[in-house]
Amino acid sequence: MTEQGRKTHYASRPRKCSACGGGRVRDVLYGVPEMGDFARLEQGEAVRGKDIMDVDDPNWVCVDCGASFWRAPGDGLDDLS
């Protein structure tokens, strides 16, 4: 009940979870997985998100505590179009 409305932004995937200190922050893959995605999912390098990514959906999650992390905007990264 404490993180509502407060997003944690990073330029790239954080190595450590800022909430629990765990080192298992994973990419969230939205939509239909592509060929390379299945291997990453199996290896636990990524987790599946929803089929359609909403603007508020996180780019990364901590698999230990469920904390969410967002990519910092304004990086010239625009892979959502």
Residues binding Zn ion (CB under 5 A): 17, 19-20, 22, 62, 64-65, 67
Nearer to Zn ion, 41 or 68 (CB): 68
Phi-psi sector, 79: left (phi>0), alpha (psi -120 to 50), beta: alpha
Q: Which of 2, 14, 21, 3 is nearest to 60 (CA)?
A: 14
Nearer to Zn ion, 39 or 63 (CB): 63
Nearer to Zn ion, 19 or 41 (CB): 19
Min CB(62)–Zn ion separation in Å: 3
Pairwise CA distance, residues 42 & 70, whole Å: 23
